Amino acid sequence: MGLRLFNTLTRSIEEFVPLDPEGRRVGMYCCGPTVYDFGHIGNFRTFVFADLVRRTLEFCGYTVTHVMNITDVEDKIIRRVRQTGIPLAEYTGRYLTAFLEDSKTLNILPPHHMPRATEHIAEMQDIIRRLIERGYAYQAPDGSVYFSIDRYMAAGARYGRLLNLKLEPSPEHMRVEADEYAKESVADFALWKARVPEDGDVFWPSPWGEGRPGWHIECSAMSVKYLGPEFDLHLGGEDLIFPHHENEIAQSEGAGLQTEGRPFVRFWLHGAHLLVDGRKMSKSLGNFFTLREILERGFAGREIRYQLLSSHYREPLNFTLDGLSAARSALARIDECIDKLQTIAANAHAQPDRSALDRFTAALEDDLNISAAWAVVFDWVREQNRQLAANQTTPESAASALATWEQMDRVLGVGRPSANSVPAEILALVEARQQARKNKDFARADALRTELKNRGWLVEDTPKGPRVKRIQA
């Protein structure tokens, strides 16, 4: 039937048809991290969701251009720079490096373009200039520039499409002077913020005076530069629907860059919130975790990725340590099956099983129904284990099964356990046992095997050497 996705703009599931006349090339933009601290698992639910979208598109045969911005200037960052005394580029560079390391840990494919806000000030100023010329933006007495929602709607444009809001222009009594910047209406949002003493050295020259960009204009400028004024997919967490993404639409379409009657973005996709132990993540509740804190508890990146992919992207995900243990067990089932198939397949090659892949594809094409996709995977594992137990697996059928898994994992991205997922001390015990066996000291080898078991690890002897795996509870 083809790929179908839930479009926040229309609040319905629609067939995905790219803007590309040939129907193959896809432009995809995802709001990236604000690099002022280490990323938490709520952030990474969004980025793993975006990775699933991209992998699914590529699995379905599309050629994707994936853009993800880096917000390296905004209010929280400026506060941290002021508090620490560390220069802006050095401060944000530290957390950008950490984000890239964490993304690699979760096997998130790197975007094709990862523009930083601070490197695209000229593009932002160009859009602001166009908005002023078209009458949708104005300069306040302090030098800041604001987008006027009243003027935008007065020209016949609709504001509030993503939430289906019914808005009217603000009455005169709503015109205010905000705490920091004077503006015409309480709903107006900043495109350019005039420099204030608290900004320190974080400012740029502009036609409107020294200052820095507002948050919303950053994404418009960077997405348009790398994908053009009209593109296919814009992704983010549901917390960005309003006002951030709504403001992106207003300023991007208000700048008049699109062909008459064409939208800035065709499909808007949003991932639901992540809960921890059933509650919103909060430091005060003690359930706030960075990815690194979860890794320090002994869980692997692929186990975290599995749990982040365990429910539909539009459903809230309840992230728990028990869920991570369940992820470990689920992946162990897959790993054990793959290990056995690899032993039998040896050097054989075969085509994947189209029946299993067709069911897997159908699940993904149904608005990225990841739960149904995992169901296909575990049905497949169950059938492979049945055939293995009945000695019905040939080298050719094992090779076909492995090719099938390789195709499914192109989307799932859980890969195989790495050697560094086994603690160094466990690997040392395995090596000592192997040496004892070579020395025919079988009593010592058995004692080491027992010690490994007591520590929660099982060692199996295979024609390719010892294989160690964690004992599942």
pLDDT by position in tens, the chain (length 473):
799 999 999 999 999 999 999 999 999 999 999 999 999 999 999 999 999 999 999 999 999 999 999 999 999 999 999 999 999 999 999 999 999 999 999 999 999 999 999 999 999 999 999 999 999 999 999 999 999 999 999 999 999 999 998 876 665 544 444 444 478 888 899 999 999 999 999 999 999 999 999 999 999 999 999 999 999 999 999 999 999 999 999 999 999 999 998 999 999 999 999 999 999 988 788 889 999 999 999 899 999 999 999 999 999 999 999 999 999 999 999 999 999 999 999 999 999 999 999 999 999 999 999 999 999 999 999 999 999 999 999 999 999 999 999 999 999 999 998 755 676 678 788 888 988 888 989 889 888 888 888 887 888 887 767 877 777 65
Outline which parts of the chain fall under CATH 1.20.120.640. 275-412
CA distance 151 to 130: 14
- The CA distances from residue 252 to 19, 203, 214, 295, in Å, are 18, 23, 14, 40
| Cβ neighbours of 417 (radius 10 Å) | 17
CATH code for the domain defined by 19-271: 3.40.50.620
How far apart are alpha carbons 392 and 408 in whole angstroms?
23
Provide the CATH number for the domain formed by 275-412 in this structure.
1.20.120.640
Ranges for all domains in the chain classified under CATH 3.40.50.620: 19-271
pTM of the model: 0.89
The distance of Cα 321 from the centroid of its chain, to the nearest Å, equals 21
- Amino acid at site 229: P
